[in-house]
Structure formats: C-alpha cells, structure tokens
Structure 1
C-alpha cells in the first residue's frame, strides 16, 4: 500500500510500529515517510483493504491447546490488543467458541481508556485492572509477538513469553522472559501454571 504512495515500509519502520494502535501506526508512518496523505486517509485505506483478509485468520500452532488447558484449570485470561474493536471482531469471528475463554478484551485502537500505545505499558495495566481481583503485574504472564509489545509487558512489571514473527531477528527480543518458536514449545509449569496432562 505504501509503495502505491511512493514510499517503502522498511524493517526499521515496521519494528517501530509493531504493536502500536492504528492511530499511532498511521501517524508514525506519515511522519517517518513524510507522506503527503493524512494519517486518517491512510488508516481508512488500510482498514478497507485488510478487512476481508482478516476474516481468514488461522490460529497459531499450540494456541487452542494452551487456551483450553488454562481455561479448564480456571486460570483467568484476557486479551490486550492494539487493534480496534471493529478489527478484533473480524479477526476473532472464525473462532467464536475459543474466544469465550477470555474474561475480557481491551482493544487499544478503540478503547477510550487507552491513550498511550505500546511500547507504553498502559494497555496491559488497564487490562489487569479490569479483572475483579486486580492481579499484580508480577503475577501476570503476557504472550507477545512484537518488540513494542514485549517492551510494554516488561515495563508493566510482568513476565513475557514471545513468539517472534519469522522475519524479526531473535536478538530484538533478548529482554523477554522466554522466546519460543511456537506455543507448542511452551511448558506452562515453567511459570507455575498447571502442567499439561
């Protein structure tokens, strides 16, 4: 899409925007590329193009097993995503039953209480506060796939397991608690969670 506007999405720019809310993403792209298009126009163009593609999101390997395992062991879970509620609904639609295991969802792209984007930890702190028992950050385990997300999780005071995207160097995630290639490698007991049967 940026190429059509005569710009390039470099690896450095991609790393910079990974995990940001939609608004922060488009503002950053416009500023960094000196694009002569408003961030709102660019965001709407992306939203229109990506809406159809997001309806076919497949689960990452190991996700279903882990979520049902934790849910069956009464481990409370929530989602803190930088996406908007509109896009989250589209992405999660094919997996309605699975997503019922979550206590709540915070969509930073549309939640009025999220005013700072990752790498700021605000979204994770807010997500924790929306549990009735308001767990302490040190008692929470966050799963992430972006550098900004891992920074936010660690700055929130939580442990963080990262499943890096294949095109991102592992050294970018050296401050994560644990790096795995897939959730199929994750052992819950390493974090004091119930072991798989």
Structure 2
C-alpha cells in the first residue's frame, strides 16, 4: 500500500484502519529512522564506537517492514472481530463470550505494539551517544515515533480492558503495567525529554 492510498484508507470514515493500526505504521517509521541512523553510523570510522550497536539494530530489525504491516492488518482484524461479536443477537448466549474473546484479541495486538516499541527503544538506547552526530535529530525523531507508537498501544489496551473476562483482565493489566514501566524508563533517554 503506498502512502497516499494508506492515508485515504485511514480517513475514509470506516472503523478500520483506526488508531491502533496507525500505531503499527508509526512503529515502522520509528524503526526505519533508527535503521537509517545505524547505517549512517556504520559508514564512517569516526563513529566506530557505534558500529556494534548499529549492527545489532540492523540484525534485530531486519523484518521491520513486515512486522509493521502484519501488526496493522492484525489490529484491523481484531477490531472487526469486536464489531462482529456485538452484532450477535443479545439473547444469544454466545454473545458475551464472543465479546470477551474478541476484546482480548483487541487488547493483545496493541499490547504487542507496546512490547515492540519497548524492544526497539532499548536497541536505540544502546546506540545513543555513539551514533553519527550528523543524524542526531533523526535519532530523536525515531525515539519520538517509538514513544507515540507505545502511547497509541497503551490507550488501545486500556480501551478494551473493561470488556474482558475477570481472569483475562488481570493478566492483561499485569502485562501492560510491566511493559509500561519499561517504556517509562527508556523513552526519556532516547527522546531527550521529548520537549519542543
């Protein structure tokens, strides 16, 4: 999907793709910028201290385009599952279970987005300070995009928690909090505070 068609698809006024799906594209953009900085760092002996972390980043994120597009599609599918569950007749005994099951999927996909943002943010932290300084603003931009992806993921997880079974709610909340705390530690380091 090219950029123009993707933007049209998002703006069409249909429930999907929505914010969660866009979060995966933002993650892909943040990863692409981090890879750009890594490649620029590797091109010069001047930044040899950043060569090993740059190679680690490039190896660990080699499938980033696929990861972003698969996440985008998964988020659309998850939300469509929720919509379909709500379309079941209210007297149907399977309706509540269907809503809970679909809502769990709709919470897990953005939780995976948060986890991916944390994973890539930690890779960025390993390069920070050792990178090609000519691309410093690009590295900060990458961090801000990763932060945005994480926030989008978090908001979408929280939106689905009220519709989960009690058991699933406990598990999702615990996982969300663990990832959130990890992000709170690393994000300020890779965004220089993220202010204007």
In the superposition, the TM-score normalised over structure 1's length comes to 0.24
In the superposition, the TM-score normalised over structure 2's length comes to 0.24
Larger helix proportion, structure 1 or 2? 2
Larger strand proportion, structure 1 or 2? 1
